[in-house]
Amino acid sequence: MVRSTRLDDPGPLLGLLPHQDSMAWVRRADGLVGWGTALRYEAAGRDRFVDAQRWWRGVTGSAVVRDEVGVPGSGLVAFGSFAFADEPGSSVVVVPAVVVGHRSGSGGSVWWVTTVSAGSLAPPPVLSSQPVRPPEQVSYSDGAMSGPAWAHRVREAVARIGATPLEKVVLARDLLVSTGHPLDVRWPLHRLAQAYPTCWTFCLDGLFGATPELLVRRERGLVTSRVLAGTIRRTGDDAHDLALAGALARSSKDLEEHEYAVRSVAQALAPHCASMNVPESPFVLHLPNVMHLATDVTGVIEPGDDASSLALAASLHPSAAVGGTPTDLALATITELEGMDRGRYAGPVGWIDAAGDGEWGLALRCGITEGPRVRLFAGCGIVASSDADAELAEAQVKFVPVRDSLGE
């Protein structure tokens, strides 16, 4: 039995999370948090998205739902996180026992709570904040390879781009963090949400982060995808940063990288849309530590097209923003040069409701807990004009959000 009821303002969403089984998808004050596990599904391999979609349809088709709220995200909801690659890696979809949601807009603000139980309707949970434990004895070490070794792989990738049909490839590296004791994931979640309020702060099954990139939102027939590719570091000097933003907007290397990413998203969404808007030029998205070239691709779902938000995310993955162009050659290059298993890094992460609406981001600016250890990830788009040392510096900058979130 599933029941959603309206709720008086209980305070910040992330403040409601318990220590165990926390799930979150929050931007500013809006989003969803959940805890407890009513249902869980794991998938792997090339068909992981199809299998998860089939399972979700079975769940929604048999559920008894009493939704007294009637907004996207109320009623039956699942959180999901998918592996980047077909092999190796596992993906997970979880229906929380409790979900608390908040939406604000021109129509006002609405809070709700959803409970899921196997038998009769569960009573509303008691909502309260709980103490959060900070990390202790934090230390860092290289992951699969050192910085200089990774920069050498970037040079190899640039050489291949000049000698093969490969146009762009995204290479990532990892950083290992020891925290002394298993991480209370709520600590970095709170800090990420506070420092990066325009990003989507997420958490599921040990994966956490704050992504600036919305892979796809489907809401009542409208589709949106925010594409990011092309990055420059901020200095903290407003005048200097404004000049840097202008340089980024004119950079042939970054515009080339961005064009590949926008093209891949538009091509994937086009079969599902009756109309689309693809801006000719990107805008510069300002974040506290970096600036990105960004484009918001929007569309109207074709009448009769029943593709859910998860199906749309599957059709978009892997976009050129996290894989490269052409896709198959880029993925093969990643496998050969990266030297690590990405797991769920750079894969879709987000939520879906019973109507198929939902939001899916790319798991970027993130980490994944492994007992008293955390793996952090950062990646860079490599094109013909890329400089290996500059890409290594960019990767270091992209580690900053999660590194800072684990600090004192």
Q: Which tokens go with 82?
A: 């998918």
Residue carrying structure tokens 């290289």: 142
Are 323 and 62 in contact by the 8 Å Cβ rule? The answer is no
Are 212 and 364 in contact by the 8 Å Cβ rule? The answer is yes
Are 354 and 76 in contact by the 8 Å Cβ rule? The answer is yes
Q: What share of the chain is helix, strand, coil (3-state, %, to 5)?
A: 30, 35, 35
Task: State the Cα–Cα distance between residues 237 and 249, nearest whole angstrom.
Answer: 18
Residue carrying structure tokens 């934090």: 138
Task: State the Cα–Cα distance between residues 229 and 380, nearest whole angstrom.
Answer: 9
Instruction: Give Cα 77 to chain centroid, integer Å.
Output: 17
Are 39 and 2 in contact by the 8 Å Cβ rule? The answer is no
* Structure letter (DSSP) for residue 294: E
Gyration radius of the chain's alpha carbons: 21
Task: State the Cα–Cα distance between residues 186 and 190, nearest whole angstrom.
Answer: 6
Helices (H), 203-359: 238-250, 252-269, 309-316, 327-337
Residue carrying structure tokens 């599957």: 314
Residue carrying structure tokens 């002394």: 180
Task: State the Cα–Cα distance between residues 193 and 200, nearest whole angstrom.
Answer: 8
Catalytic residues: 168, 213
Q: Which tokens go with 139?
A: 């230390």
* Structure letter (DSSP) for residue 85: S
Are 180 and 136 in contact by the 8 Å Cβ rule? The answer is yes
